[in-house]
Structure 1
């Protein structure tokens, strides 16, 4: 076989691999769970301070935010109205969409609502975020293009039940959800100062947020119609397009993580603070970054330990993109990076930044490990369910369930 034939064969195999399946279903599920959990936990924690951070009681008032949005064309639903009630609705919907995306319920719709919630709050007050918020901001947009509910989700459970039927059942919930979201989008477009431009600077130059949101809404309708009434070649074409979008978004997420570590590591190399170790030493003595002062004092008291952690951080971040060439080295480096983020969460009091970084790192976790972990969690859940669901009076009979040989007979459950 000559070189051109080999090249054609490789291209054909690559085409089939990219279009025939959504790659990394477990990795994308972990990213979905990680970022939705991080954002949900943050919103719940900041519930008492929500109005000072993103609402009408904050120093960055509504007029200042509206003028900023006019200039940078960013998206936020919180400038549609300066009403306190509207702010509470948006904040509550952000919590609900995060929880439902975490569970994997209607992930296509919830990923869009999750993105709207993240962008609305973060773009409303751009000066209260940190690196973790920036990471959540980016990943919220990428998750919209992924098929992140193929495993470990309520959608996957529903799809497994539907696969046993000859004809898909009526998706009444999906139709109602689609109608409600379309009505809300129409209301925002016509009756509010939404600034949803059709052709303006939005996610991409020349592409407005109205085009994006209406486009996603129309795609949902087309997907339901084809799935319901044209399950042949049209369904195969839409599946292939969805797989291409998913695989492309997953590749972008991986590239984003590599760029994050590479840029952070190379910037650290250029700074004198990371060369002499003071970049770690000084934050350990700041009250704002020291939730455990005694632990920070012990760590900062050892010059050798500070030097090892400082240079180890720089080396790990610079080397990580290159470790992807070797699977074992990459897995070992992932463990080190995740431990580093856990240390940041404990020592410097930045739990949400660390959770976001670990969720992003999870895109590189090996599939075998994720499947093993999923199987173990599934068995643990089954045991808990078996203990919780018992026949009436089962506990009273457990003491009498002993066999003549002295061994306990395992009680039967409703699952059996």
Structure 2
């Protein structure tokens, strides 16, 4: 039997481990770079899709579609889904919602007022997709889910305009703030409140009580957050809000990871049950469909090799089934992650499904290693600096002296005339 001292030691060790885990989950948001990549990938995918379908928007989600407004209203009356397009059947209202979804996707991609734009983006995505549920595919389902989860994440801590503004505020001396600073956030908060109140009173948020509760909680919470941050930054409630926000972020990030694993696990295990996947010929058939062959010559070349078809078919099943189990080994996980991203890139090219592939790659990005993301961000920053320095040299102001041998380095550092032209 174990002695009382050893039992107390084990209990103390377990308690300390639990304490460290709780401290890590509440002290700061985890995976800030990964959540930023997911935010950028999902919003850019939705933005590009809506731009591509701009000429066909009314047929897909609007008044000219085969799924009429009355049919959509009857369906939504049964499933209580949310869509702002049911508030009115006018063409003007449809165009307004479509444009607002475009704008919110662009603002979310650059990380401007992310707490508000993430909610607008979610509302726009749900409005369009729930209006015509038969128009989507697997990629739309992923964007649908990620739009919901991103609302609860602090996905603008890096690589965003919000992060740049926060860094500028932190560098500003205490007491030197502009009284008008933050007026944009106040106006945005008031405008959203003016939309939320009548939408709730008139029953325009669907029949799901949780959506109304979440929207009101977000709106009131952000107002209280701003008030505490402005007038009582060191108050205990301000610290509590930070802890709750970190918990919500980390929980949402965990849900995103679980969702990606569930997608691949179910896809892989369902494939195993199919006879075409079992005999290694499943990849052959879509390559022979005109709808999935944007490059007939390339598709025919791949389909002509029985070995390539067999390898691609079995590799797809193995990677999808094995991926959730590789999370316990970082190196193996990274290898399979590269294979899955390559698989989706191949689907985009061979089968002509670029937006489905972009959505899946954006979701897969939650598992990218932080070291790689830091390296990638550094390379992008260097490329941007080179581009800006060349632009500054090419477009000199009239009357400026020509560059000397030491001017190029000054321009790169931001001390030369290029900083004025760019900034």
**TM-score clears 0.5:** yes
Match of 1:29 among 36, 42, 59: 36
The superposition leaves residues 162-213 of structure 1 with CA deviations (integer Å, 9 ceiling, x where unpaired) of 01232565310000001111112224344x6x4335xx5x2xxxx3432222
State how far apart, in whole Å, the 1-side matches of 2:270 and 2:150 are. 28
Contact 1:295 1:347 in 2 (8 A): yes
State how far apart, in whole Å, the 2-side matches of 1:65 and 1:409 are. 63
Q: Which residue of 2 aligns with 1:225?
A: 227
State how far apart, in whole Å, the 2-side matches of 1:260 and 1:31 are. 16
Matches within 5 A, 1:228-377: 228-232=230-234, 233-377=236-380
Match of 1:130 among 123, 137, 150: 137
Q: Which residue of 1 aligns with 2:213?
A: 211
Matches within 5 A, 1:162-201: 162-165=169-172, 166-167=174-175, 169=178, 170-190=181-201, 194-196=203-205, 200=207
State how far apart, in whole Å, the 1-side matches of 2:45 and 2:205 are. 28
Q: Which residue of 1 aligns with 2:88?
A: 81
The superposition leaves residues 350-378 of structure 1 with CA deviations (integer Å, 9 ceiling, x where unpaired) of 00000000000000000011011111111
Contact 2:84 2:204 in 1 (8 A): no
The superposition leaves residues 210-262 of structure 1 with CA deviations (integer Å, 9 ceiling, x where unpaired) of 22222211111111111111212211110000000000000000000011111
Secondary structure at the aligned position of 2:300 is classed as: helix
Residue 17 of structure 2 is aligned to residue 15 of structure 1? no
1:395/1:265 Cα in 2 relative to 1: closer, same or farther (>3 Å)?
Answer: farther
State how far apart, in whole Å, the 1-side matches of 2:56 and 2:165 are. 38
Structure 1 stretch 228-237 or stretch 100-109: which is displaced more? 228-237
State how far apart, in whole Å, the 2-side matches of 1:343 and 1:31 are. 20
What is the number of equivalent residue pairs in this alignment?
400
Residue 123 of structure 2 is aligned to residue 116 of structure 1? yes
State how far apart, in whole Å, the 1-side matches of 2:407 and 2:88 are. 65
State how far apart, in whole Å, the 2-side matches of 1:338 and 1:291 are. 20
Residue 412 of structure 2 is aligned to residue 410 of structure 1? no
Match of 1:70 among 68, 72, 77: 77
1:80/1:210 Cα in 2 relative to 1: closer, same or farther (>3 Å)?
Answer: same
State how far apart, in whole Å, the 2-side matches of 1:100 and 1:375 are. 23
Contact 1:26 1:151 in 2 (8 A): yes
State how far apart, in whole Å, the 2-side matches of 1:355 and 1:395 are. 45
State how far apart, in whole Å, the 1-side matches of 2:239 and 2:218 are. 19
Contact 1:196 1:208 in 2 (8 A): no
With structure 2 as the length reference, what TM-score do the two structures score?
0.91
The superposition leaves residues 315-345 of structure 1 with CA deviations (integer Å, 9 ceiling, x where unpaired) of 0000001111111111111000000000000
Match of 1:150 among 150, 154, 157: 157
The superposition leaves residues 11-32 of structure 1 with CA deviations (integer Å, 9 ceiling, x where unpaired) of 1100100000000000000000
Contact 2:83 2:205 in 1 (8 A): no
TM-fit CA distance, 1:387: 2.4
Residue segments in structure 2 that go unaligned for 5+ positions in a row:
1-7, 416-423
Q: Which residue of 1 aligns with 2:105?
A: 98
State how far apart, in whole Å, the 2-side matches of 1:261 and 1:329 are. 16
Contact 2:327 2:333 in 1 (8 A): yes
State how far apart, in whole Å, the 2-side matches of 1:396 and 1:293 are. 56
TM-fit CA distance, 1:263: 0.7
Contact 1:290 1:296 in 2 (8 A): yes
The superposition leaves residues 24-68 of structure 1 with CA deviations (integer Å, 9 ceiling, x where unpaired) of 000000000000000000000000000000000000000010111
Contact 2:341 2:361 in 1 (8 A): yes
TM-fit CA distance, 1:397: 2.2
State how far apart, in whole Å, the 1-side matches of 2:315 and 2:281 are. 14
TM-fit CA distance, 1:277: 3.0
Q: Which residue of 2 aligns with 1:405?
A: none
1:409/1:229 Cα in 2 relative to 1: closer, same or farther (>3 Å)?
Answer: closer
Q: Which residue of 1 aligns with 2:421?
A: none
